[in-house]
């Protein structure tokens, strides 16, 4: 039997069945002092938008770009917010290319529960790096996705390349 190492999943698995955390994790990360950005996986704080690692990633180095303002209504985004979000999506892709050299990206957002959105109250764009061959038999036959790097290591790698 092969062991899959995913230590960050323990906090998620151990809370299964408990009430969900109240409040917005994105806003909570912003409210914390910047010295806690690493702990909160907050990679970049902008004036109108931010970049944060997904705590439960689909793939290694899965980032989210979000407006600073708490809104779940895409149509309410201001032109200035959209401009900064677009700029940070571009910078995120550039950083991921330098740090991980992926073959492609999935970039997008889910609006509403019906679309698969798990956080409906705070809009966030997903930026998921992809590599040729990163989809294999594990997710198909075993229902398991292997993430080969810890979130702490991913954060440190991206922080170096971001700056």
Structural domain spans, the chain: 23-162
- pTM to 2 decimals? 0.81
Parallel, antiparallel or unpaired: strands 42-45 and 125-130: unpaired
Q: What is the pLDDT of residue 12?
A: 59
Average pLDDT, integer, range 139-156? 77
Locate 82 and state its tokens: 């959209």
Output phi, psi for 159, to 5 deg: -60, -45
Catalytic residues: 124
Q: What is the pLDDT of residue 133?
A: 76
Rounded Cα–Cα distance for residues 6 and 13 (Å) = 11
Contacts of 123 (CB under 8 A, 6+ apart): 66, 67, 71, 72, 73, 74, 77, 109, 111
pLDDT tens-digit series, residues 66-97: 999 999 999 999 999 999 999 999 999 999 99
- The CATH architecture that domain 23-162 belongs to is 2-Layer Sandwich (3.30)
């Amino acid at each position: 039997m092969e062991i899959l190492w995913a230590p960050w999943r323990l906090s998620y698995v151990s809370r299964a069945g408990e009430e969900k955390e109240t409040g917005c994790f994105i806003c909570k990360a912003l409210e914390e002092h910047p010295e806690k950005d690493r702990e909160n996986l907050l990679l970049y704080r902008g004036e109108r938008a931010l970049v944060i690692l997904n705590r439960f990633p689909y793939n290694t180095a899965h980032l989210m770009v979000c407006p600073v303002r708490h809104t779940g209504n895409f149509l309410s985004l201001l032109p200035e917010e959209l401009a900064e979000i677009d700029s940070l999506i571009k910078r995120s892709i550039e950083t991921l290319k330098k740090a991980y050299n992926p073959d492609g990206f999935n970039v997008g957002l889910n609006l509403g529960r019906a679309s698969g959105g798990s956080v409906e109250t705070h809009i966030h764009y997903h930026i998921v790096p992809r590599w040729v061959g990163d989809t294999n038999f594990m997710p198909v036959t075993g229902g398991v996705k292997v993430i080969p790097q810890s979130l702490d290591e991913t954060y440190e790698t991206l922080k170096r390349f971001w700056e």
